[in-house]
Structure 1
Amino acid sequence: MGFFYSDDITITNNNVKEILYAADKYMLAAGKRKCETVLKQTAQSEHATKTLQTAYQYHLSDLKKESLDYIEMNTKACLLSEHAVNLSKDCLELILKSDFLDCTETDICQFILKWGKHQCELAKLEPSGGNIRESLGNILYLIRFPNVEMKFFSKSVANSCILTSDEMVSIYQSHFGETSKAFPHSLRAPVSKRQTYSIIRYGQITGPMATSGIQSLTFFSNKEIWLKGVNIFPPFVRRGRYIIPYDIPGTVNINIKVMNDSEEEIQQQENINVVQNNEVRQIDFCKPVHVISMRDYTIVLDGMTHQIYYGTDCQDSVTDQQSGVTIKFKNSPAHENGTDIKTGQFCRSFIQCLNWFLFL
Structure 2
Amino acid sequence: MTMNDYAWQCDKGLTDCMKHVLNNALFCDVTLLVGECEEEVSAHKLVLVSRSPVFYASFEGPLAEKGQLVIKDIEKDTFELFLHYLYTDSITLTNENVTSILYCARKYCVDKLTWRCELFMEDKIDAENVFGIMEEAHTYGLTTLKEKCLKYLVQNIEEALASESFSLICKHCIGSILRMDSLNISEEKLFEHVIRWAGAECSRRNLQTTDKNKRLVLGENIKLIRFPVMADSYFKDKVASGMLLDADEVINVFLYNFSKNDGNCRQSTFEVASRCYRRVLRFRKTLRERQVSDEKNDIAFESSVPVTLHGVTVYTPKEQCETQIVCIDVFDHNKSSIASVDSHYFEHSSRKVHDVFLDQPIRIAPNKRYTISTKTSYWVKSFYGTRGRDCVQFRDGTISFYNAALSESSDSDYDWASTTVDKGQIAGLLLS
TM bracket, shorter-chain basis: 0.5 to 0.7
8 Å contact kept, 2:419–2:426: no
Change (3 A) 1:185 1:346: closer
**Is residue 2:139 matched to residue 1:75?**
no
Structure 2 residue corresponding to 1:229, chosen from 291, 305, 314: 314
- 1:146-201 alpha-carbon deviations (Å, 9 max, x no partner): 343556545543454121112122334455455562223333334xx413237xxx
The aligned amino acid for 2:325 is I
Distance of 2:199 and 2:343 partners within structure 1: 39
The 2-side partners of 1:168 and 1:140 are apart by 13
**Contact conserved, 1:216 with 1:301, CA < 8 A, in 2?**
yes
- C-alpha distance 140-218 of structure 1, shift in aligned 2 (>3 A): same
Shift in CA distance, 156/345, structure 1 to aligned 2, threshold 3 Å: closer
CA–CA distance in structure 1, aligned partners of residues 216 and 200 of structure 2: 13
Q: What's the secondary structure of 2:311's corresponding residue?
A: strand
Structure 2 letter corresponding to 1:13: N
CA distance in 2, matches of 1:220, 1:75: 30
Q: 2:196 aligns to what SS in structure 1? A: helix
> Residues 231 and 259 from structure 1, CA distance in 2 versus in 1: closer, same or farther, beyond 3 angstroms?
closer
Cα RMSD (Å) of the superposition? Answer: 4.6
Q: In the alignment, residue 327 of structure 2 is paired with which amino acid?
A: V
Please tell me whether the aligned partners of residues 36 and 63 of structure 1 are also in contact (alpha carbons under 8 angstroms). Answer: yes
**1:186 equivalent among 273, 281, 287:** 273
Note closer, same or farther for the CA distance 1:303–1:349 as it changes in structure 2 (3 Å cut).
Answer: closer
Q: 2:356 aligns with which of 276, 283, 288?
A: 288
CA distance in structure 1 between the aligned counterparts of 2:257 and 2:185, rounded to whole angstroms: 20
Structure 1 vs Structure 2: percent identity of aligned residues? Answer: 21
Q: Aligned match of 2:282 in 191, 194, 197? A: 197
**1:171 corresponds to which residue?**
253
> Which AA in structure 1 matches 2:356?
P
Corresponding residue number in structure 2 for 1:350? 426
Measure, in 2, the Cα distance between the counterparts of 1:167 and 1:127.
21
Relative to the length of structure 2, the TM-score reads 0.53
* 1:61 Cα deviation after fit: 4.4
Change (3 A) 1:263 1:287: closer
What are the superposed Cα offsets for residues 253-277 of structure 1, whole Å, 9 maximum, x if unpaired?
7662538899984341658xxxxxx
Of 256, 262, 271, the residue aligned with 2:325 is 256
Aligned partner of 2:272: which letter? Answer: H
Deviates more, 1:178-187 or 1:159-168: 178-187
Mark the runs of 5 or more structure 1 residues left unpaired by the alignment. Answer: 199-207, 235-249, 272-282, 309-318, 331-342
Q: Please give the alpha-carbon distance, in whole angstroms, between the structure 2 residues aligned to 1:97 and 1:176.
A: 25
1:7/1:30 contact within 8 Å kept? no
AA aligned opposite 2:139: Q
User: How big is the shift at 1:102?
Assistant: 2.6
Q: Distance in 2 between matches of 1:353 and 1:218?
A: 14
Give, in whole Å, the separation in 2 of the partners of 1:254 and 1:4. 37
State the number of aligned residues. Answer: 295
Query: Secondary structure of the residue that 1:290 maps to in structure 2?
Result: strand
CA distance in 2, matches of 1:4, 1:76: 41
Contact 1:226/1:288, CA 8 A, preserved across alignment: yes
Q: Distance in 2 between matches of 1:113 and 1:327?
A: 46
Aligned match of 1:268: 345
CA distance in 2, matches of 1:224, 1:103: 16
1:301 equivalent to 2:383? Answer no
Taking a change above 3 Å as real, the CA distance of residues 40 and 221 of structure 1, as seen in their structure-2 partners, is: farther
Deviation at 1:113, TM superposition (A): 2.1
1:106–1:297 Cα change, 3 Å:
same
Q: How far apart are the structure 1 equivalents of 2:207 and 2:320?
A: 61
For structure 2, the 5+ residue unaligned runs are: 1-82, 284-290, 302-307, 330-336, 363-369, 382-388, 393-398, 407-415
> Which amino acid in 1 is paired with 2:377?
L
Q: Which has the higher contact order (CA 8 A, sep 6+)?
A: 1
Q: Is the 8 A contact 1:109 1:148 kept in 2?
A: no
Give the whole-Å Cα distance in 1 for the aligned partners of 2:145 and 2:403.
30
Return closer, same or farther for 1:221/1:266 CA change in 2, 3 Å cut-off. farther
- Given residue 25 of structure 1, which amino acid in structure 2 is its aligned partner? K
Task: Report if the CA contact (8 A) 1:254-1:301 is conserved.
Answer: no
Question: Deviation at 1:138?
Answer: 2.8
Alignment of 1:97-116 (within 5 A): 97-116=179-198
Evaluate the alpha carbon distance shift between residue 187 and residue 4 of structure 1 in structure 2; reply closer, same or farther with a 3 A threshold. same
| 2:164 match: secondary structure | coil
Q: Is the 8 A contact 2:299 2:419 kept in 1?
A: no
Using the alignment, how far apart are the partners of 2:236 and 2:196 within structure 1? 17
**Cα distance change of structure 1 residues 265 and 101 upon mapping to structure 2, 3 Å threshold:** closer
1:115-145 per-position Cα deviation (integer Å, ceiling 9, x unaligned)? 2233333344444434432332332122122
Distance 1:264 1:26 in 2: 36
Structure number having the greater helix percentage: 2
Q: TM-score, normalised by structure 1?
A: 0.61
- Aligned partner of 2:343: which letter? I
Counterpart-to-counterpart distance in 1, 2:429 and 2:85 = 49
